[in-house]
Amino acid sequence: MTSTPTRLSYQARILVVPLGASGNALVQSMAAGGLTNMRIVADAGQSAASVRDIRAAVGSEITETVADLAASADMMVLLGSDLTQVPSAFVATLAKAARANGLLLAGVLVDQQNWESARGAYALTVLRRELDMLVFVREVGLATAFIDVLKGGRRKPVAVDATPNPADPATEESTGRGAS
């Protein structure tokens, strides 16, 4: 006998990795735009990362290993604009940890810049090689909405009736007992 899951929705545990100063500016804009429940990750050297909540003040970070971070998340989203600022070695370290833990590894580039420079072209090659998904958008609002969707969207409290009506077709469909 199987039981019906009681969890009605899912919110992914997302690590956001700003790619340089342009990524940090995007994170600040996203926080101001209402994005919550995200952990921000920065390179702390030697396979370590500094981590803080998106709403926490800069300087309140804790240090964790990249492997431990990957084990505690569902996906990583690398975020930036200026491709010359991409820390390619850190991207490779994150990708290795993400693959070892079965995480989705995505990149979001907002109004990407300097892709035609030698360093920018190399960074783009690294991102294409290491990421599962690379998305290009024109403005930070689109990136904010995209990441919000990836994490499962914003939640509003919903009153739940604990006694489902067996005659309700939605109840039958959700429990798999509909007419055949």
Beta-bridged to residue 49, according to DSSP, are 43, 64
Rounded Cα distance between 176 and 180, Å, is 10
Per-residue pLDDT at 167: 57
Torsion-angle region of 141 (φ positive above 0: left; ψ -120 to 50: alpha; else: beta) = alpha
- The two structure tokens encoding residue 41: 């990750």
- Collect the ranges in the chain with pLDDT lower than 50: 7, 157-158, 170-180
Per-residue pLDDT at 163: 55
Burial of 106 by CB count in 10 Å (0-12 exposed, 13-18 middle, 19+ buried)?
buried
Per-residue pLDDT at 180: 40
Per-residue pLDDT at 57: 84
**Element holding 109 (H helix, E strand):** strand 104-113
Per-residue pLDDT at 94: 94
Prediction pTM value: 0.77
